[in-house]
Amino acid sequence: MTVLLVGLLAIYMAGIILPPCFPGRPRIQNLVAHGLATGAGLVGIVLGLAGLLVPEPWTVSAESTIPFLSFAIRLDPLASFFVLTISLVGLAASIFALGYVTEFYGRSSIAAMGSLFNGFLLSMTLVVMADNGFLFLIVWELMALLSYFLVVTEHEKAEVRYAGLFYLIMAHVGTAFIVLTFLIFFQEAGSFSFEAFRHPEQPLPEGMRTLAFLMALVGFGAKAGIVPLHVWLPYAHPAAPSHISALMSGVMIKTAIYALLRVYFDFLGGQFPWWWGFVVLLVGTTSALLGVMYALMENDLKRLLAFSSVENVGIILLGIGAGMIFQSYGLKEFAALGLLAGLYHTINHAMFKGLLFMGAGSLLYAAHTRNMEEYGGLLRRMPWTGLFFLVGAVSISALPLANGFVSEWLVFQTLFLSLKLPALFLKLMLPIAAALLALTGVLALVCFAKAFGMSFLALPRSSHARHAKEVPIAMRIGMGFLAVWCVGLGLAPMIVVPLLNRITGPLTGVSISDKVLALDGWALAPVNVQFSSISPPMLAAMLIACGLLGLFLAFMFGGRLVTRSHKTWGCGINLSSRTEYTATGFVQPIKRVFSTIYQPTVKLETEFLEESRYFAKRRRFEFHIEPVFQKYLYDPLVDFFVGMADRLRILQAGSLHLYLAYIFVTLVVLLLFAV
């Protein structure tokens, strides 16, 4: 383990230091930076798997001269799982970047981008391995700052600078709450060591435990993107280069999921009242539903994917929240199932969201726009990208044969087990959450039918789409790697569940892999096979067999295959890109149904021919969704603080004597308190 960790750190450090050593040679800088990141990703995968398989947590610590800070690293199953997830997506992003960043040659510093990329991956890895609160905060802030500099890569654009500032402010607001969380633990533990947090000198009072729960939910929830703290995602993710967006959405926001599990089930010992779990469940349900609803309305593909990340974080929290509720009533097996479902969806989302962001980056690379209204017909021009994007779309829509189906099925089963709870209120609330999750799933299917259909099918709707070409081989390999994982995680739960059980077992105190896996591992069951069960491999075999049977029957009884080409009948009208469905029109019925939430603004201007008012010469259509949270929550807060700053500006009189008086008064007050 020591050799693997040292190797991982050494490769990442080389990836940070070496790219600037080749000034004026962007191709070499690209190969060095992302080639080393690829190597570090491979080492990280081995390290994560090793940490999951070893019987005891592996720790290493070195004291420092700074009070309360020790360079303590702990690789237990929970940390190992996230190291593995970060490394898998990091490996794919590194390969993808070898082709993608060629677009930035001559426009941005490839050396800086490559160094920051390696530093970003290293900081995320250290976040989940840190075993000291002080060290955790340092690498957490480093992760935020490095990702900020990557978001503002194209800083010459005003909207990119705004997105970066918005992200940085929200990141530091979250950090403030995290600091408060750790200070609560420090108050009783007398140390910033995570081991002291686990075993304090005296247990936290109930009120302080609740305060720590709420502070952690807000602090880490801001990074995870829960509603209403999600507002930075649709700004930062589209602004960042696409391989960075894949990392931010695929794994960076998951470091917050890691931290929540660490606080609730490790530091607090998995002991909490039922309403904690209900709050997490409520936050998850709200985030899942509103996330996908806002994603549906987006025509910017990367903004759509950003809102979709809010949805999927909500699904993860649904599993975790249900697990917390069961844990509070001593139903440990069901609690472990909820955690297992949440963790399964965590790695699944990392795979398919990383893939989809890389797919969006490929479309941006080829068509030079993120607007789906300017796509169309790209499947003929970019068949490999289309195939990989389709795999990601099927996965995120939770359709069979892909990974999203398995984890969402487990979340559903956990929620349906509410009949085992003694409280009538929760027996009603969990099935309601399941119903809302079902609605979320339907809307997600519509959302990604829109994303794939508007982008890849029909006819090109712009010159950009007509002249698009397939992306370089490195970008296709990066996407293909994640596409294989999307299919593999969906077809092989018999491999995934025992590994996840190594995490949920220590956190809940019970092992359930033998009860979740039935038929010698070929079927999944929610602890009790009599309740329900499903076999993804058998389901895949049946679907493939049905498809082959259909082809066989068509071949046997359909006669000789003849290719005939005719124009599509369109009621006598010659079809063109102007007669296609648009991305806006595709979701028009849903916008009308949920108009109370969306509060849409529609503006239609028509210019008629001079000869007759019955014939339109030109139409202009504008459609706008009200940013409810920003308008009614964040804008008033900003106005309040700006107003306070204006009032306090009177203190800045420009007089040196007055400033010295301020200092003198402050010293007198401090001395009075000291005495």
Q: What is the pLDDT of residues 448-492, one digit of tens each?
A: 999 999 999 988 999 989 999 999 999 999 999 999 999 999 999
Residue at a domain's end among 595, 613, 628: 628
Residue 578's pLDDT is: 77
Kindly state whether residue 664 falls inside one of the protein's structural domains.
Answer: yes
Of 372, 576, 362, 336, which is closest to residue 469 (Cα–Cα)? 362
Its domain, for residue 633, covers: 629-674
d(Cα 628, Cα 626) in Å, to the nearest integer? 5
Beta bridge partner(s), residue 605: 620
**What counts of helices (H) and strands (E) characterise the chain?**
29, 6
Please give the structure tokens belonging to residue 203: 């247990």
Say which residue the tokens 């995290």 belong to: 178
d(Cα 192, Cα 183) in Å, to the nearest integer? 8
C-alpha pair distances (Å), 626 with each of 207, 629, 636: 38, 9, 15
The reply to whether 591 and 619 lie within a common domain is yes
Provide the sign of the torsion angle of the four alpha carbons 430, 434, 437, 439, taken in this order: negative
Kindly state whether residue 641 falls inside one of the protein's structural domains.
Answer: yes
Residue 656's CB is within 10 A of a number of other CB atoms, namely 8
The reply to whether 608 and 633 lie within a common domain is no
* Helix pair angle (473-491, 383-396), 10° resolution: 30
The reply to whether 617 and 636 lie within a common domain is no
**Into how many domains does the chain fold?**
2
d(Cα 499, Cα 501) in Å, to the nearest integer? 5
Residue 529's pLDDT is: 61
Kindly state whether residue 86 falls inside one of the protein's structural domains.
Answer: no
| Residue 299: partners with Cβ closer than 8 Å, 6 or more residues away | 371, 372, 373, 583, 584
Kindly state whether residue 595 falls inside one of the protein's structural domains.
Answer: yes
Kindly state whether residue 348 falls inside one of the protein's structural domains.
Answer: no
Provide the sign of the torsion angle of the four alpha carbons 463, 469, 474, 475, taken in this order: positive
The reply to whether 659 and 637 lie within a common domain is yes
Kindly state whether residue 663 falls inside one of the protein's structural domains.
Answer: yes
Kindly state whether residue 643 falls inside one of the protein's structural domains.
Answer: yes
Residue 115's CB is within 10 A of a number of other CB atoms, namely 22
The reply to whether 591 and 622 lie within a common domain is yes
Residue 639's pLDDT is: 86
DSSP, collapsed to helix, strand or coil, labels residue 534 as: strand
Stretches where the chain sits below pLDDT 50 are none
Angle at 214 between CA 258 and CA 86, to 5 degrees: 15
Kindly state whether residue 574 falls inside one of the protein's structural domains.
Answer: no
The reply to whether 638 and 619 lie within a common domain is no
Residue 646's pLDDT is: 83
